[in-house]
Amino acid sequence: MHYMHCWNLLPALLVGVSASGCNGSAAQYDADPPTKITLFSVFHPNPQAPLFVDEPPPDYYRRYSLQDCRERFFSTVLQNDEFTGVYNGEPATVGEFNFFAAIGWTGSDKTVKYKCGGTLITLNFVLTAAHCAFDDLSVQPDTVRLGDVDLKGPSNDQNAQQIKIKTFTRHPEFRPSKAYSDIGLIELSQSARASPYVCTACLWTAASNPDYTMTLMGFGAVAYAAEPSSLLRKATTMRVIDSGTCASRLLPNRRLPQGIADQQFCTVGSSQDACEGDSGGPLVVYLSDVDKLIPFVVGITSLGTGCGEGSVGLYTKVSQYISWVQSVTKSNFNQLQCARRSVCREYFKDFRSPVQVQKLSPSCRTTLLRGDTPTGCGGTLIDYRHVLTSAQCVSCTKAPTHVSIHDNIVKVQEVIRHPGFQEDPLENDIALITLEKYLSHELNDRTVLPACLWNQPTLDTSEVFVAATDPTADSYQRLIISSKLIDDQFCGKDQLCSENSVDVIPGVCQYEPGGHVSNYVSTPTQGFIPFIYGVNSEGFECGGKYGTFVATKVEPHFSWIEAVVLNKSEGKVHLSNQCNRVHTKLYSYSLSL
């Protein structure tokens, strides 16, 4: 006879799906009921109890199976923390592009005509095209309007800022007769005031263009030969095309006598493009940074084939001019610094990123240390004194001597690598760490508890959480990446492959080798229970369509894990830390560092 439980996975909870009922999206766990035993180790509150103690719980050596994890560690309901996680263009909403600047020429009748666009990149400077320094009558612009999405209507005039131009600096290599080095900087006569409607964008600094769909915006005409639009419009399907394709589609242009330069690139939209009046405006990509969506300017609108379906736009490549921009503005445009330290951080769009700070309790994650230095690997507490990690994380050069759990440092007694582990091809990439102390079963709170192991051959979910860290944080910051399981041709039969297709700012998140692939499962009586599906083996950046996370499945190794944890295994070989003596068939060694 089997017990069948209907549990709802956390991702459904996050998007507001009801937690009641049993349907196809619920995870089901089929397990043999434990024999009737008294669990002396069920957790009891004790305000004075330390997290780790020298003695095991009373029934430690009578435990017969790891399948009692739910009853043993989660016998009462847990309280969880909040989980934190143009041409044919559409009109922009108020505040949507708070970095956009309309560059204007004031006429003798005091009316202003806005003929170019730009981007507020500091509170004192606007980035634009160099050819916007003069109009067709050789007159210079004299004003910039910020925070307005309707130049004729009064709907959001109270949010807009009108600031006079102090200086217009063109790149020294720009020549008016050519489209090369078509980049300029406007210094404002006074600083803009940061607000939800007026603020700055960051600059894309990488040498290569992002391989993502980008957004174009401007007050230009909405059709060929039409009047400029009074509404700020956006095109969100712009993608980069190679220079050869671009050259073949661009009409002969005397402003490009040497063809398309390395400092330029082209985009095409399915039915959207830049038009006259969009010159100098930004082409931006949005990347996520945990809880914010950050705009990065990739290109500056320079020229194009006309604003029609399938037309091509030519842009100045911003990353090629970062040094010059920094020298003129006296500002640093490091991508991470801009995203994290910008005065406009609070005004960047809130975003429930797939990359989140892990706030859900209880925590089962650990950091592996060699001495007092992190090895770069993580692990998962799976019982009172055992940590599950990757076999690669216990190699000779970085075998851990200690483990950090919730600010507690615990000494490692033994490291046990799977006997079938091999690096090429990667197989059985799993290991266990035995600690010298035991997790106390008399705890003041439930912030730290072991995770349970998933031992079913299939997963009733397509979403998992992949362990990661924030390398930019002052202290060790644990993250999780919400990822979707995928079928990958390079994924072995005992591996799990997943991906996060949302683009993340490079460097804000670091995949954690040895960390877990998991999900928190909600139960009717036991609250949220962390279940481990796999152990991180291979991964790169934390996001993007080309990044695949590879993990070693727990289920095929459940019996081996259980045998080691419950001390049922035979034939262990204990060695000193002389790694050159470890034979492939020997899988256990004691540390004497």
Identity of the residue numbered 119: T
H-helix or E-strand containing 563?
A: helix 558-565
- DSSP letter for each residue of 310-330: T-EEEEEEGGGGHHHHHHHHT
Residue 570 exposed, middle or buried by CB count within 10 Å (0-12, 13-18, 19+): exposed
d(CA 317, CA 441) in angstroms, rounded, equals 60
Cis link prior to 362 (omega < 30° from 0)? yes
Q: Which member of 181, 279, 363, 498 is catalytic?
A: 279
- DSSP letter for each residue of 526-553: TEEEEEEEEEEEE--SSSSTT--EEEEE
Active-site residue flag, 182? yes
Cis link prior to 228 (omega < 30° from 0)? no
Give exposure, 224-251, as e/b (b: 16+ Cβ within 10 Å).
Answer: eeeebbebbbbbeebebbeeeebeeebe
Nearest 5°: the CA angle 390, 391, 393 is 70
d(CA 561, CA 232) in angstroms, rounded, equals 60
Q: Which residues contact 573 (CB under 8 A, 6 or more apart)?
A: 586, 587, 588, 589
Q: What are phi and psi of 218, to 5 degrees?
A: 170, 170
In 3D space, the residue among 107, 73, 341 whose CA is nearest the CA of residue 202 turns out to be: 341
Active-site residue flag, 460? no
Q: Which member of 68, 148, 150, 182 is catalytic?
A: 182
In 3D space, the residue among 494, 385, 496 whose CA is nearest the CA of residue 448 turns out to be: 385
CB of 333 within 8 A of CB of 200? no
Distances (CA, A) of 134 to 105, 137, 280, 446: 10, 7, 12, 67
Largest Cα separation within the chain, whole Å, is: 95
At 492, list the tokens.
């072995």
CB of 395 within 8 A of CB of 426? no
d(CA 118, CA 201) in angstroms, rounded, equals 11
Annotated catalytic sites, by residue?
131, 182, 279
